[in-house]
Amino acid sequence: MVKLYRCIICGDAYIGASPPANCPFCGAHGEYIVEAKEAVVTFDVPLGTKDRANAEHALAVEISNAAFYMCAAGQTDDPEGKILFKALGKIEAEHASIWRKILKLGSVPPGKETCHIPNVENLQESHARETRAIGFYRKAASESDHPRLKTIFEALVAIETDHLHLSEERLK
């Protein structure tokens, strides 16, 4: 029987016979995907000074990473790399959307980033970007006073760690 599921991190819905292992939109792990009728998703979060600063920084990180990945998808010299970077670009853009909603912003301009033609250089840059994102999200999760934000920050640590493993596997 087909059901309607919803990711409690990004809020997007998924239709299927069972919940996916990861959200197809933001990459959140299966623990964050529930039947839509049970999902409680809000982006209306009171932001103290530190949480606002971390949300603004997170938005900048995700805009930058999405732009880098889309550039790499178009420039890299490896066919699989093109597919990987396009998928990562879409996920990072979804992460930016989460922060845009929390910050109550309309559309935000896309980022502009440079990338490389050699796939290995893009993978190295991806690895560096994901490592920085993981460190930032861990710190932001520990600093947050709001349970919803703490959950999002923690989910993003896991998602970005998955992305880190993708580059590590390909850099071997």
Token digits of residue 1: 């029987």
pLDDT in tens, 62-91: 999 999 999 999 999 999 999 999 999 999
Residue 122: pLDDT band by 50, 70, 90 thresholds?
A: very high
Query: What average pLDDT does range 103-130 have in this prediction?
Result: 95
Indicate whether 110 pLDDT > 90.
Answer: no
With a CB cutoff of 8 Å and minimum separation 6, the contacts of 57 are 136, 140
How does residue 109 score in pLDDT terms, banded at 50, 70 and 90? confident
Position 108 pLDDT exceeds 90: no
Inter-residue contact 10 to 34 (CB < 8 Å): no
pLDDT at res. 74: 97
Rounded Cα distance, 169 and 171, in Å: 6
- At the topology level, CATH places domain 3-38 in Rubrerythrin, domain 2 (2.20.28)
Q: How much is the mean pLDDT over the chain?
A: 97
Q: Which residues lie closer than 8 Å to 45 by C-beta, 6 or more apart?
A: 51, 102, 146, 148, 149
| CATH tag, 49-171 | 1.20.1260.10
Per-residue pLDDT for 107 more than 90? no
Closest to 90 (Cα-Cα) out of 22, 43, 171, 16 = 22
> What are the residue boundaries of the structural domains of the chain, listed by start?
3-38, 49-171
